[in-house]
Amino acid sequence: MMSTAPRRACLLMLFAITTSIGCASAGSWSYTPTSANKSSAPASPARVAVLPFLDLRGEKNRKTFLVYLIPGMPIGPFRYERVESGAGFLTHASYQIRPAEDLAKAVVEELKRTNLFEEVFYTEREKEPNVDLFLQGSVTDMTYSGGIIGNRKNKQRFLHHR
């Protein structure tokens, strides 16, 4: 039977490995179209080119979650306006997302699924041959915020919102 000190060391090492595995992974964003197919034949013979969205989000990323370690401070908040350049999320080390491109590609998938146009595709070129319509949107907010709540024994709980 193991004495208390080696057992405690093993448990501590197991805890460290378990928690670091979750933090080393990268979260990613994926999109699944939700529109139903409208018709078997396209409603319009138009070709639609979807451009990357304009990125109008804020530039601030604030990470103060270790504040919960200070006695009397119940929460350690964080807020990322640019989630792709943030680090130290509760469940991931980072997020792999390119909002301007990923959201435009999601629009392409939705438009393809509705079968409204003969052809819909993503492009970064503002001039494409034989294109009838160009579509471009904007990203104004993709804020990720949350925090860590500490209690009297300085154990942590995770709070995630938005």
pLDDT tens digits, 9-21? 665 565 554 444 4
Q: What is the span of the domain harbouring residue 52? A: 26-161
DSSP 84: G
Nearest to residue 123, comparing CAs of 141, 107, 110?
Answer: 107
CB 148 within 8 A of CB 76: yes
Q: Give domain status of residue 15, yes or no.
A: no
Q: Which residues, at least 6 apart from 37, have a Cβ–Cβ distance to it below 8 Å?
A: 113, 114, 115
The rounded distance, in Å, linking the Cα atoms of 120 and 49 is 6
Q: Give domain status of residue 53, yes or no.
A: yes
> Is the pLDDT confidence value at 3 over 80?
no
Q: Give domain status of residue 13, yes or no.
A: no
Number of domains in the chain: 1
Q: Give domain status of residue 113, yes or no.
A: yes
The rounded distance, in Å, linking the Cα atoms of 120 and 8 is 60
Q: Which residue has the higher pLDDT, 161 or 97?
A: 97
CA angle 50, 80, 21 (to 5 degrees): 100
The rounded distance, in Å, linking the Cα atoms of 125 and 47 is 14
Nearest to residue 91, comparing CAs of 154, 25, 39?
Answer: 25
What is the chain's mean pLDDT, rounded? Answer: 77
Nearest to residue 100, comparing CAs of 123, 127, 134?
Answer: 123
Q: Which residue has the higher pLDDT, 4 or 11?
A: 4
Per residue in 104-161, pLDDT (tens digit) is 999 999 999 999 999 999 999 999 899 999 999 999 998 887 776 665 444 444 445 4
Given pLDDT bands bounded at 50, 70 and 90, which one contains residue 74?
Answer: low
Q: Give domain status of residue 14, yes or no.
A: no
Q: Give domain status of residue 21, yes or no.
A: no
Q: Give domain status of residue 18, yes or no.
A: no
Q: Give domain status of residue 9, yes or no.
A: no
Nearest to residue 50, comparing CAs of 133, 139, 142?
Answer: 133
Q: Which of 24-38, 40-54, 115-129 has the lowest mean pLDDT?
A: 24-38
Mean pLDDT, rounded, for 37-64: 87
The rounded distance, in Å, linking the Cα atoms of 85 and 59 is 10
